[in-house]
A and B are shown apart, each in its own frame.
Chain A
Amino acid sequence: MDFSTSLALIAPELVLSLSGLVLLLVAAWAGDRSARVVSVLACVALGAAFALCIPVVSGGLAGPDRIAFDGQFRADAFASLAKLMIYAASLAALILAPAFLERIRSMRAEYPVLVLFSAVGMSIMVSATDLLTLYIGLEMQSLAAYVLASFVRDNTRSAEAGLKYFVLGSLASGILLFGMSLTYGFTGSTAFDAIGVAVSGELNTGALFGLVFVLAGLAFKISAVPFHMWTPDVYEGAPTPVTAFFASAPKVAAIALLTRVLMEAFGGQVEAWRQIVVFLALASIVVGALGAIGQDNVKRLLAYSSINNVGFILIGVAVASTQGVSAMLVYLAIYVPMTIAGFVAVLMLRDGAGDPVERIADLSGLSRVRPAVAWCLMIVMFSLAGIPPMFGFWGKFVVFQAAVQADMVVLAAIGIAASVIGAFYYLKIVKVMFMDEPAGVIEPAGGQPGNASLGALLAICTLMISPFGFLATGWLGALADRAAASLLLLA
């Protein structure tokens, strides 16, 4: 495998990192005046990277010729499908930001650059086939994310969010690194396939410890219970566009990474890690659902909602089959637009002073003040609750179907029961919006800057999760199946 072939395989990452570096220079040179231009160029770069991934996904490419740098990196259909979602979510985070940040005079040219670097990190995460590549990608993403969380640095809540994220993230990184060294120590390799071979027989205690610690470190990233504690605080404190970004792209990256580690490196020891994943899944579903009930802040509620959703995604991982991975990918593909739509809808609401609205009580009577937003938010909520005509139902359905077909009926049953609890707080928001008297906080639609792009983004995302999404089930399922097959090809 020569170097040029490897470079060709990492074309999307190259595009992103080079444009990130160039844009950083532009930002340094031109200052914050260039924020808009940098944003647009970053969008273009993400678009280009997105385009580069499409042929890999649609072709379902896999196998040895997708391996770069002697097994450090793999650009297969699985990774590329995850990248598509990551790039799309990053793009959304770029589109969302100006309207929010410009109002509080925090729109700096670094924002798009940080999102780009974070995207590069996530790209590397999903393509990593070596513990070291994994760690590099993860840290690259995390460092960018810590800064993004405290991006509005003169706001104490934003700064607090960044600090909390950083401290706990470092702890998680430590745990992860510890697990990686244990794994390396007991298996003699950092490459996934070599680890896979080493643990294919009996799993010794050291390697098991390594597995558990690696799992715990990654569980932090996907905010699975009990490693979720940072999520509500960070989501609430971080600027809303950043929260939308956190809730979408890094989730995809970390879950894809987790899946690859579990299926490739520890694919021979499914029984050892399945119970942990099942525990994480159920704990996330239940705690996510229970935690959301008491919330009065929309962003905190969506934070718990994302914890809850991660639980459902982990059911797909726990199934540990092509079907499970495929179901998980389908769920992710629905989850990303669903989450983004939720945050965009919240972002579009302003009170009389033009400040963002975050309290659930403020949404009362939204259907009369901002009917279009209310209807979109209703579709999002029904979709999150998994109520059938909405596309969100399909994600839950495929995951539960995979679980049932893998004879994990109890897991599916508990998941379904817990999703009923989840339905409560989703429907409560719909009730508040449609049945309560207007609270008089939210201003009717007016000429807020950037509302056109937000509206378009909301419309697109809502359309994707509306019943029209079902038109895409066959196509989406085929893509996910091929991606899942590419992951398990070498496992």
Chain B
Amino acid sequence: MSSILIIVFLPLLASIVAGLGHQAFGATVAKAITTAGLFVSCALSWPIFLAYLGGDAAGQVVPVMTWVHSGEMTFDWALRVDTLTAIMLVVITSVSALVHLYSWGYMAEDPDQPRFFAYLSLFTFTMLMLVTANNLVQMFFGWEGVGLASYLLIGFWYRKPSASAAAIKAFVWNRVGDLGFMLGIFGTFLVFQTTSIPAILEAAPAMQGSTITFLSMRLDTMTILCLLLFVGAMGKSAQLGLHVWLPDAMEGPTPVSALIHAATMVTAGVFMVCRLSPMFEAAPAALTFVTFIGAATCLFAATVGTTQWDIKRVIAYSTCSQLGYMFFAAGVGAYGAAMFHLFTHAFFKALLFLGAGSVIHAMHHEQDMRYYGGLRKHIPLTFCAMLAGTLAITGVGIYWVHAGFAGFHSKDAILEAAFASGTGMGRFAFWMGAVAALLTSFYSWRLMFLTFWGKPRWAQSEHIQHAMHDAHGHHDTHGHAEHGAHNPPAQEDAGHDHAHAVPSAQQDDGTAGYHPHESPWSMLIPLVVLTVGAVFAGFVFSPFFLESETVWNGAIAYNEHLMHEMHLVPLWVKLSATIVMLIGLAVAWLAYIRDTSIPGKTAAALGPVYRFLFNKWYFDELYHAVFVKPSFALGRFFWQKGDVGGIDRFGPNGAAFVVQQGAVLARKVQSGYLTSYALIMLLGLVAVVSWVLV
């Protein structure tokens, strides 16, 4: 199966060629190379995926080249393919290929398109390296690679200060997680004497219950290792505590949000936990922690999502919340369900993001939903796609016929697994998940109603006014980057911006003469394809992911007992997701269609609670006070007192001063007078003679 080599390295090749050569052959060729490369990778990935679903393919490892052979430590570049990898392959290559295509339309006005496409392909390559890793070090390579690509892409419009800040924030928070991951890898090597994943997983069960001494404390080895590794997963997958970078990452172009911050990179943590599932199975305490974090994130992000105004931020919190589902599914041992949700989520969340991108594109980069309204008549195709995505994420489906949109199958499976696990933490996760599902339904429909229903409200949007002013309703005149530089989006952070009064419908028809139009076909085709995925992915693939151990073929720890228990949960549990979904829908309908004064009244009535949610539980403020400010203070101290006052003064600057003085002296001695030269020679001679004699 050497096609895996092509799948993985074609994006790298395309990225290098497009990134370095675009000046030679132009932007269009660069875009075509990267996009074509991804479509080839995608076309090669699906047969692999289907072969594994058929259950007739064994996991295998394709060696690439030697990497490090040093004493006990040996690891090579190799591509591992098994069921787990195959799932990630199709997710990554499909979404990436569609995002590449989508970007033709979305980024059409940008002057730096080759760079954008090269970064996208580079990201895809590193992500593929991550999921095909056969040892922890290669996984770390991919892990860091996606972090780098994410940094580059969030800060793609680097002239925009908020984008640069968001890129740095994402990178730094990921470093926090990476430190845990690194320590986990070091510890694993220490304990198992290898970084080879198969070898570790084989040895892991035997290590259960063993202890390790750290700072004269006896600690459970596997728990420590798994917790450290999980810290890495928390960082990458934006779990509670390390989640703060994800909403800000929305500063990046929307295709990036769809690819990296919804479908692929942020799911790397889930993938890692599933890949190392036999290790986690040997550490029950760690699994409990995973469940708790997952459940807490799931609820937390959903609550924040209900209050945000920025369309991308709502979807970002939604992503955070859905990742929480995946983690607590993994935490209770339902790795198959976690991977299934990862799989379906990739489709419907990419769809939602790309749909949102299409809306933003139509609305001239206005992202505040308060300035939307009634868009379904203007951009009907986008509306249909978003509707499908919303039906999928809220889990619409009919239990009795086992048919529904993608999220119905995967989310129900997760809730059932949490309930069926029978542990206290499992029950906690179930209730958290159920409440979160209600909120998911609410904020998703809120988004839909605010955007596509009601009357147009964009007359007061600065972006629209700017566009009308600038180019009379047409927006082909300036690139995004320029746009960002001159006029940073007014709604970068809806939470801190109350400058606009919410517009009322009194002003004529609320459109100010601006009429959004549908996005180009390059953007609509990906929406159509993803719509198909969002509608059918759950229904078609659920038997494979959930019912069959042979499909997994040892790629994850398969809990036969739990899978059996899942079928035996009470009917109300099975229906719970559907019930809360309907409640959420009803509330959203009431508040945003029936009587639009309800949200304002509710927010006023629940003042402190609303503000707490609206300000994202004050995590940013807390971190700013606890970490950022002291860090700056400490940094300033070390800079001014330690570096400038100490090291520089006595080190480089001091040495430079001495050298400078020496140079001046050497010049002075070199007077040009013959007599003084002769004198120095003789003095030198006398000095040497007397030194030798003494």
A: residues with CB less than 8 A from B are 163-164, 167-168, 171-172, 175, 205, 208-209, 212-213, 215-216, 220, 225-227, 229-230, 232-233, 272, 275-276, 279, 286-287, 289-294, 421, 424
Contacts and interface: CB of A to CB of B under 8 A. Distances in A.
A213 B688 CA distance: 9
A423 to B, nearest CB: 12
Contacts of B666: 287, 290-291, 294
B677 A230 contact: yes
9 contacts: A171-B681, A212-B689, A216-B681, A226-B684, A229-B669, A229-B681, A233-B677, A276-B691, A279-B688
B681 A291 contact: no
B692 A164 contact: no
Contacts of B692: 208, 212, 272, 275-276
Interface residues of B, number: 26
Contacts of B659: 289-290, 293, 421, 424
Interface string B633-669: 0000000000000000000000000011011111101
A212 B685 contact: yes
B672 interface: yes
B663 A294 contact: yes
B685 A213 contact: yes
B667 A216 contact: no
Contacts of A215: 688
Given A216-B685, A276-B688, A294-B664, A168 B680 contact: no
Contacts of A175: 681, 685
Contacts, number: 79
Nearest to A167: B674
B401 interface: no
A225 B685 CA distance: 11
A220 B670 CA distance: 16
B669 to A, nearest CB: 8
B652 to A, nearest CB: 11
Contacts of A233: 670, 672, 677
Contact of B670 (A209, A216, A229, A286): A229
A164 B667 contact: no
Interface of B: 659-660, 662-667, 669-670, 672, 674, 676-678, 680-681, 683-685, 687-689, 691-693
Given A272-B692, A290-B666, A171 B678 contact: yes
B688 A212 contact: yes
Contact of B681 (A172, A208, A286, A294): A172
A293 B660 contact: yes
- 6 tightest A-B CB contacts, nearest first: A226-B684, A229-B677, A293-B663, A290-B662, A291-B666, A294-B663
Q: Which secondary structure dominates where chain B touches chain A?
A: helix
A226 B681 contact: yes
Given A213-B685, A216-B688, A226-B680, A232 B674 contact: no
Given A216-B688, A227-B684, A291 B678 contact: no
Contacts of A213: 685
A276 B691 CA distance: 9
Nearest to B660: A293
B326 to A, nearest CB: 48
B683 A167 contact: no
Contacts of B665: 290
A164 B672 CA distance: 9
Nearest to A420: B655
Contacts of A168: 674, 677-678, 681
B78 to A, nearest CB: 31
Nearest to B656: A424
A273 to B, nearest CB: 9
Most buried by A among B663, B664, B689: B663
Nearest to A217: B685
Given A212-B692, A229-B681, 15 more contacts: A164-B674, A164-B677, A168-B681, A171-B681, A175-B685, A212-B685, A216-B688, A226-B683, A229-B669, A229-B670, A233-B670, A272-B692, A286-B662, A290-B659, A424-B659
Contacts of B689: 209, 212
Contacts of A287: 666
Contacts of A209: 689
A385 to B, nearest CB: 15
A171 B674 CA distance: 11
A451 to B, nearest CB: 32
A317 B689 CA distance: 20
A301 B527 CA distance: 67
B18 to A, nearest CB: 28
A293 B658 CA distance: 12
A171 B679 CA distance: 11
B681 A220 contact: yes
Contacts of B660: 293
A130 to B, nearest CB: 24
B684 A291 contact: no
B492 to A, nearest CB: 37
A272 B691 CA distance: 11
Nearest to B661: A290
A320 to B, nearest CB: 16
A287 B692 CA distance: 21
Nearest to B685: A216
Contacts of A212: 685, 688-689, 692
Residue with the greatest number of chain B CB neighbours at <10 A, chosen from A209, A220, A225, A233:
A233
A485 B662 CA distance: 40
Contacts of B683: 226
Contacts of A220: 681
A424 B676 CA distance: 29
A55 B683 CA distance: 45
A167 B684 CA distance: 17
A23 B4 CA distance: 74
A176 B664 CA distance: 32
A276 B692 CA distance: 8
Nearest to A179: B685
A171 B683 CA distance: 13
B674 A227 contact: no
B97 to A, nearest CB: 41
Contacts of B680: 226, 229
Nearest to B667: A294
Nearest to A209: B689
Contacts of B681: 168, 171-172, 175, 216, 220, 226-227, 229
Nearest to A229: B677
A445 to B, nearest CB: 26
A229 B689 CA distance: 19
B685 A291 contact: no
A439 B676 CA distance: 36
Contacts of B693: 205, 208
B226 to A, nearest CB: 43
A421 B655 CA distance: 9
Nearest to B664: A294
B119 to A, nearest CB: 28
B431 to A, nearest CB: 63
A294 B660 CA distance: 8
Nearest to A164: B674
A396 B677 CA distance: 30
B677 A291 contact: no
A96 B303 CA distance: 81
Contacts of A230: 677
A347 to B, nearest CB: 24
Contacts of A289: 659
Contact of A291 (B670, B672, B688): B670
Contact of B663 (A208, A227, A291): A291
B678 A167 contact: yes
A232 B670 contact: yes
A227 B684 CA distance: 7
A286 B655 CA distance: 13
Nearest to A293: B663
A343 B403 CA distance: 84
A272 B693 CA distance: 10
Contacts of B667: 291, 294
A230 B678 CA distance: 9
A225 B677 CA distance: 11
